[in-house]
Structure 1
Amino acid sequence: MKDSSSLLEITWTDPVTGTKGFVVIDTLVRGLASGGLRLRKGCTLEEVRGLAQGMTRKEAVVYDPQDRYVPLGGGKGGIDVDPADPEAVAVLTRFLAAVRPVVREQWTTGEDFGLRQETIDKVAADLGMASTVEAVFATIDDVPAARQRLAEAFAVHVGGISLGDLVGGYGVARAATGAARHLGLEPGESTAVVQGFGSIGGAAARYLVEQGVRVVAVADREGLIRDDAGLDVEALLAARDGAGVIDRSRLGAGVRLGDRDAWLDVPCDLLVPAAMSYVIGPDDVDRITARVVVEGANMPTLPEAERLLGERGVPVVPDFLANVMTNAWWWWVVFGDVAPTEESSYAKIDAVMARLVATVFADSTATGTSLRSCALELAARHTAAVTERVGITG
């Protein structure tokens, strides 16, 4: 059944395995929506609907009238399949073939939880599609130049990792240290725990350390890795596989192992959930000692848990602000707002994230409301400005 707040909802059933897949278009701007495609066992239409709503906010919150990039609408896709399932790529192929008209005309998509960009690019090519972002090129004057910028940007590697796999986590790290400073915490005197060690979590940990934060624990799907003296994050990145799992045989001395869910119990200043949705519930709040929660994942904190944390004076930097930079960076490159280099990309992220964090903290202090409420209001103001600029958004 279609939710009345969404423009389009598709539920697909794989004719071979019976697997369910979903597409939700929450909003359209100039006929387009942006948002990734995730593979997760247990993925539901309700989850994808919430993610699509989050994409609407991500697009809007970074709007700058000086940019060539004008925010798109929000959409999302999800398939109820384990990405490690041997049939996952075949299911993905059949799903993309089925929803290809929406991808071609309205929904620009890419990697998300459980899906690597190179995998979706290969599947798209096998289906005769140049890419899964083709719809956006109708809004660009010099398409060859845009394609070239994107190719050059993804060819950049920083410390052995693709720039495209780093920008999202870089933004999360900047959001975390920016929030810490607003709370009177200096990065060099702060500790962090990161849950998830994929592209977002791994990069967030790298750039937290670069700013002086001591990362005392990370969690991947195999469990907790902890060292209160500070983990060697670069060594962990070198020992990480394509699914974000760290090879335990390559861990150094002094590292302790624990259960996968024990990350909430580790004392820290900055808590960064950067993997799954719905991982902090009301029953978990008393386990958290952090001064601030920074949502590197999409929808990791349940609303009641966020309310309880707020009552304890622990702010939550919302996902659609903290982890916005992967999506924004794609479009900044495509539209030419950044050069396809590490220096240009990181300088833009630094400036935008500093502005966003400062704005929501100032608004929260002035109004006595949560960071999420203030970020939602900021996104609403930007949506109104975009509507005035380009017309009815849908």
Structure 2
Amino acid sequence: MRTIGVEEELLLVDGTTGAPVPVADLVLQRAVTDHVPWDGAHFTGEMQLEMLEVITRPHSTLATLGRQVLDNRALATRLAAEHGALAAPLASSPLPVLPHLRSSERYDRMVQRFGAVPRHSLTCGLHVHVAVASDREGVAVLDRIRTWLPVFIALTANSPFHAGEDTGHASFRSVTWNQWPTAGPAERYGTVARYRALTDAIIGTEALLDQGMLYFDARLSRNHPTVEVRVADVPLDPTMTVTVAGIVRALVDTAVEEWNAGKPAADTPACIIRLANWRAAIEGLDGHLVDPLTNRPLPAHEVILMLLEYLRPALTANGDDQLVERAVHQAFIHGNGATRQRAAHAVVGDLGQVAVQAAGAQPTLIGIPDADARTPR
């Protein structure tokens, strides 16, 4: 069974006002002092001091992955609380913010090169890593999963508010993230040689600083033998984090099976996938997605159920089918993070309190044995 791991970016907000606060380094220093996290997990900082990245180790089952996701969120919350802050699973700040940028040679160069984009960018995503046997297998996967990736934007959409207003989008993070030059879908590669040649050509334009800025929706990881899917918002609900990981793994399994059987990848142009991403970002689960088979709009729920049916053999083989189906149907009933944020705002009428409530909710996992009983250490 392929291993999976996730990276969640969490927004650090004031425990009273919900405004983002630049305490990431203080949180990380305390983590070092306390010799945490545990069990192969890892915490790190990002360009902005208002966010923290919490990383799991590789897991074979959704049950153990889910428990570590909960542990990571609980620990981040405990460490942030020592500085009057909360670790909020929000993909963008509902309140206006001018981020505090971490001082480093690379980040300083990014600010000089890209101006207002890094100075104003503060978004939190979910990255899913799935093990692959080789770069050949990884490129075959990238070519075959690309048309389904907009579904993950719709499922995880968790950034309806930005800079003090309702953006009209379910995932405004997707909009702001795509200001970076390489963010978004890529064309088919076909071979590892073409993947390497294309990435070398991109770097050769000198529009980027380095390969670390290859921000495609999915890519071969530079540091691990994995395919990394980077398109999602950090979900409000940790159950959705685990669910997306299970669906991505099944998508990778299915792609490899089709590659081994000689089935070619769809030749959908990247510009069509970019439009599918845009539609998923603005409509989320409440409108339409682009059907990857016809490139025509269908109700979002229909497209997602099509994906689950397509992946059913792999989901069942991994033992993930019941958890994934239950969590997806719960999302159909209760909505994604964007729906829940808007519902909270309709009650409290204060965007700062939307952030506080998002961070303060007691997280649980649907269908993960013993997860509900775990307590922060």
The answer to whether TM tops 0.5 is no
TM-score, normalised relative to structure 2: 0.31
TM-score, normalised relative to structure 1: 0.30
Q: Which has the higher contact order (CA 8 A, sep 6+)?
A: 2
